[in-house]
Structure 1
Amino acid sequence: MNNSRFFTFSAFATRKRKLAMAGSMQRWLLKLGVCMLSVGVPLSAYANPPASAPKASDAPKAAEAPKAAEAPKVADGKFDMSKVPAVSAPSRPGLFLLPPAGPGYFSLWDLVTGNKREKPPVAPYAPFALLTTPSYDIDFRYLATPGHEKDIFDPVKRMNLGDDWLLSLGGNFWYRYIHETDSRLNAAGTNNDFHLIRTRVHADLWYRDKVRLFAEMIDARAFGSELPPLVTDRNHADILNMFTDIKLANINNGPAYIRVGRQEMMYGSQRLISTLDWVNTRRTFQGVKTFWRTAEWDVDAFWMRPMVIEKGNVDNWDTQQNFFGLWATNKPKPGHLIDLYFLSLINDRNVSAANVLAGNILQGNADTHTLGGRLAGNFDNLLYELEGMYQFGQRSNLDVSAFAVATGVGYRLPLPMNPQGWIRYDFASGDGNSKDGRSNTFNQLFPFGHYYLGFLDRVGRQNMHDFNAQFTMHPMPWITFITQYHRFYLANNRDYLYNAAGQATLRDITGQSGSHIGDEIDFRLNLHMSRHQDVLLGYSKLWRGEFLDKQRPGTSPDLFYVQYNFRF
């Protein structure tokens, strides 16, 4: 632990230095972002990623809406609103799927009404119950295309208020029932049955492509549980997003904006920054971001603070954490992408002396810098991904040196039911000696760990090896079946097992409990009922390895859930 934590004068001086450094770095970052947006990058005329790129965490989008090749232009005194807003298309996650191409029935409603389609319909939502994409990036621009398929909610989308204004309204409701057996590794073996309900509504107002005002409310509730609800289960009537976009310029046929206010963030594979749609409250931040979008480049620079969920009060940002970074995505040709990023998290939360002695030091007193890159895409039916992340900085007076790697290859078999498989390996470093002046445990930051490391959430991207495989198929285009298998090991036997929230849970300081955490299998079945409705059923089971058998003998974790999701 820092000596400054024990001496008042030294603590004050350290705090001043940290605040000065944070302020300086934030100002530098914003200047760099504006500079990049002003200078631009010479571009080639490539199309955006194809329809196979998924729009959701677990499933691909049925079809992409038209993309904006350049800024709208004034004609005959009227502004062309058909390409507003300039939507940020989500990046492919890892373990992405290539969607069924048709012909067939793409929803249960299609089947019931006999509407057999030659190809997937153009639709704003992915055909899956989980959707990490923020509401403000759901693409309804296809409604400006003559002859588009009509929908009952069209009248509240893209409402023209005169020639220069657009207003859209929307929302989402879900209900989930969960049954857990030992899923929190309870020593007493307490099971848990409970219900989650979440409601979201939003309004989106544009003046030409110059100014945007977006607001989204959330109400998340949990009831009926035997165990105390998690912090992420409840947030009563609060703000999820509330921001203003102001256009700075058009650079190389791409708009550049600054966004100020409360906003969700989602980048790349979502291993480090995600909206975390599995939890009932989602994750959000508050701060400022500059971003530039073209057919070939997406470039973002931001300074944010995470929001602290307060169930019965208005949420406030965490003044002890400053998160800033620079993220660039290059799309060299359709179906392929390159992510390059630098991220910094300055966390001034105090870590207690007891936790420092126990080596549990990832939750504060740290300046963590992450440098990384990612390649992902597909060559026809061959799928691939490789991501590497290196961290440096200081943590409780220890020098940070940590890294993580995620890699995999997949293949889609040219057979009925669209079968696809992935074989993958994920690694994040751990620390075996907290007294050697170094801290080698990787910090996963703000991830969508639930998607990658098992739905039981026992393993986070910290101090772990995960040898895993995924198999998917579509018995019909509206049915998605996904199964994953994981074999988990500790990267270092003397470090903690960290859960999906990044919290230290179990540890054997002697290393005598071994490294094999256990084996998990996950099943998910998604039924796409209609354009607006999905039903998701899932089951997960974890078999204890040597480590869990010695640390939590007798536990047999499993999870069953069923979820209904409605969007409009």
Structure 2
Amino acid sequence: MRQSVITAAALLLAWPINAAAEPRPELQKFRFHEDYRFLRTFSGAPDPFDPIKYVPLDDSGSSSLSFGGSIRERYEYTGNPLFGDDPQDEDGVWLQRANLHGDLYIGRNLRFFGEFSSALSEGRAGGPSPVDENELDVQNAFADISFPVDRVNSFTLRAGRQELQFGTGRLVDVREGANVRRTFDGVRGLVEVANWDLDLLAVRPRRDENGIFDDRTNRDEVLWGVYAAGEPQLLAASGLDLYYLGFRDDRGSFVQAVEDETRHSIGARLSGNRQGWDWNLEAAYQFGTFGDGDIAAWTAASDTGFKFDETLFQPRIGLRANIASGDEDPADDELQTFNPLYPRGNYFSQAAVLGPRNFFNLNPHLNFQITEEFALNTDANFYWRLEKKDGVYSPSGQIIRGPGQSDARYVATGVSVEATWAPLRNVDFTAIYTHLAPGAFIEETGASESVDFIELTARFRF
């Protein structure tokens, strides 16, 4: 297939890279977080891509260009999509995502970053979904103007199209698992002061179309607020995130109705690790208006674990426990359903079936680092709905099942196995299997087939 030919060429090009070379900074999920100006004085082993990773434009090297890109090939097969409600793909779906970016620094205070993305798909029954295909468009295109506050701290004004993620992506995430990553248009102010990084933003999401350079700003939605991340000295071995996020959607959709939605989220996240233990705890409260009614919603999420560093395969055992409010009565004007805004698509598993609204779940998991390059992760997910008069939602907020006449809470049981192999710094492979068995609520409200999901992914970055 056309995707496979391109991937094979990319992997062959990458293979000669010396995996034993002196360690370099890791490749980042957001490529604009990489800064290759370190190559001005780098004395380690060369990389074949160094000539395009750092191109000086003046004698001092303060102005420079950098180029990079990636290609990801993915095969997915889902047996009984959405418990049998969605059409069955005959032979699975082939997905390809290719990116090419350029990074221009002009002196110390001005920067331009641009990135093109192409997402293609084949095999989806009924045609590609909105997150499957976007033939060619601009993924990132922003300018930074930086102002030093003092010798340590700075302020950067960023304007244009840009990807976002806050914390671990529970409320705002780039949606890496999908073939089409999420991005926004707008303005941000990035402030470094003392032990804090502040992010002030006013943005709108991109409205994805599947053609060539036909995306546009989604005028139905807007996101604004401030996100602060720091390491207060009073919290030993812990980081603290504090945030306010405002959100408006002209077409907010819930079991209750489709109405104008204005929502304000106030939250905090505590994360860290010490003596083998690690923790990631987050809580948020939401208020605002939905049509003529008021919003009062909340969530609490946790991921705690212990890693046996001195044991064979360095196992980590952990437990995620999460809860989010649901609507108590769809017949009145008030709305209690939590809105995760722009969350990870794979919030509970790579199958991306269930979303974090009106639910509570327990998610034990066990991870192994078999070798430096190979990791194996396993988990189970037990998922309930919280309020019986509210339904079950997808990660994107679509209503999977309304409450119907069912009094059952239990929605589904999921088990997943994920293997990741990264033989080279810029090449990795992933294999995932997820089985999702319907619970009483699904069985009582419609199709109730078990979902089986298989994913095979190869990725090359430079």
TM-score (norm 1): 0.74
Opposite residue 101 of structure 2, the aligned amino acid is H
Aligned residue type for 2:321: Y
Q: CA deviation at 1:159?
A: 1.4
| Structure 1 residue 183: Cα displacement | 2.5
**What corresponds to 1:463 in structure 2?**
358
Give distance in 1, aligned partners of 2:108 and 2:377. 40
1:274 and 2:173 are equivalent in the alignment: yes
Residue 470 of structure 1 and its aligned partner are, at CA, apart by 1.5
Q: Which residue of 2 aligns with 1:296?
A: 195
The residue that corresponds to 1:339 in the other structure is: 241
Deviation at 1:307, TM superposition (A): 0.3
Q: Give the Å deviation of 1:348.
A: 2.0
Q: 1:190 aligns with which of 77, 85, 88?
A: 88
The CA deviation at 1:248 is: 2.9
Q: Secondary structure at the residue paired with 1:319?
A: coil
Q: Tell me the residue number matched to 1:320.
A: 220
Distance 2:454 2:201 in 1: 38
Report the equivalent of 1:143. 39
Aligned to 1:170: 68
**Aligned runs of 1:215-294 on 2, under 5 Å?**
215-251=114-150, 253-293=152-192
TM-superposed deviation, 1:186: 2.7
1:153 aligns to what? 49
Q: Match of 1:336, as an amino acid? A: S
**Cα offset for 1:196?**
0.4
1:416-495 maps to which residues of 2 (within 5 A)? 416-450=312-346, 452-495=347-390
Provide Cα deviations, 1:285-324, integer angstroms capped at 9, x if missing partner: 0011111135721101110010001111421001122210
Counterpart Cα distance in 2 of 1:171 and 1:122: 17
| SS, match of residue 348 in structure 1 | strand
2: distance between equivalents of 1:461 and 1:298? 27
Alignment of 1:555 with 2:449, yes or no, is: yes
User: Which of residues 391, 395, 398 is equivalent to 1:500?
Assistant: 395
Q: 2:5 aligns to what?
A: none
Among 125, 131, 148, which residue is 2:27 paired with?
Answer: 125
Where 1:550 maps in the other structure, the secondary structure is: helix
Instruction: Give the drift of 1:266.
Output: 1.0
Q: Relative contact order, CA 8 A, sep 6+: which one is greater?
A: 1
The equivalent residue for 1:181 is: 79
Moved more, 339-348 or 158-167: 158-167
8 Å Cα contact 1:472-1:482 kept in structure 2? yes
CA deviation after TM superposition for structure 1 residue 483, in Å: 1.3
User: What letter corresponds to residue 320 of structure 2 in structure 1?
Assistant: R
Contact 1:271 1:449 in 2 (8 A): no
Contact 2:256 2:331 in 1 (8 A): no
Q: Does 1:527 align with 2:424?
A: no
Q: CA deviation at 1:176?
A: 0.4
Q: Is the 8 A contact 1:291 1:301 kept in 2?
A: yes
- Measured after TM superposition, the shift of residue 529 of structure 1 is 2.1
Aligned to 2:3: none
Give the C-alpha shift of residue 564 in structure 1: 0.6
- Tell me, yes or no, if the aligned pair for 2:281 and 2:302 is still in contact at 8 Å: yes
Secondary structure of the residue aligned to 1:523 is strand
Report SS of the residue matched to 1:185.
Answer: helix
SS at match of 1:305: strand
Tell me the CA shift for residue 342 of structure 1: 0.2
Q: Separation in 1 of the partners of 2:145 and 2:304?
A: 40
Residue 96 (structure 2) pairs with residue 201 (structure 1)? no
Provide the rounded CA distance (Å) in 2 between the counterparts of 1:188 and 1:258. 44
Worse-superposed segment, 176-185 or 303-312? 176-185
Against the structure 1 CA distance between its residues 168 and 489, is the aligned structure 2 distance closer, same or farther, given a 3 Å change threshold?
same
Structure with the higher fraction of residues in strand conformation: 2
- Hey, what's the Cα distance between the residues in 1 that align with 2:403 and 2:19? 60
Equivalent residue for 1:542? 436
Give the gaps of 5 or more residues in structure 2: 1-13
Q: How many residues align?
A: 442
The Cα of 1:228 is off from its aligned counterpart by: 2.6
Per-residue Cα deviation, 1:116-144 (whole angstroms, up to 9, x for no partner)? x9xx9333226xxxxxx221012435434
> For 2:311, which of 383, 393, 415 is the aligned residue?
415
Aligned-residue RMSD, C-alpha: 2.3
The match for 1:42 is: none
Structure with more helix by fraction: 1
What is the identity percentage for the equivalent residue pairs of Structure 1 and Structure 2? 27
1:321-400 equivalent positions in 2, closer than 5 A: 321-332=221-232, 336-349=238-251, 359-361=256-258, 364-400=259-295
List per-residue Cα deviations over 1:394-422 (Å, max 9, x = no partner).
Answer: 01211000000001320001302111111
Question: What is the match of residue 403 of structure 1?
Answer: 298
- Distance in 2 between residues matched to 1:460 and 1:382, nearest whole Å: 28
Matched-pair contact (CA < 8 Å) for 1:386–1:406: yes
Contact 1:372 1:390 in 2 (8 A): yes
What is the alpha-carbon distance in structure 1 between the residues aligned to residue 185 and residue 411 of structure 2? Answer: 37
SS in 2 for 1:461: coil
Amino acid at match of 2:441: F
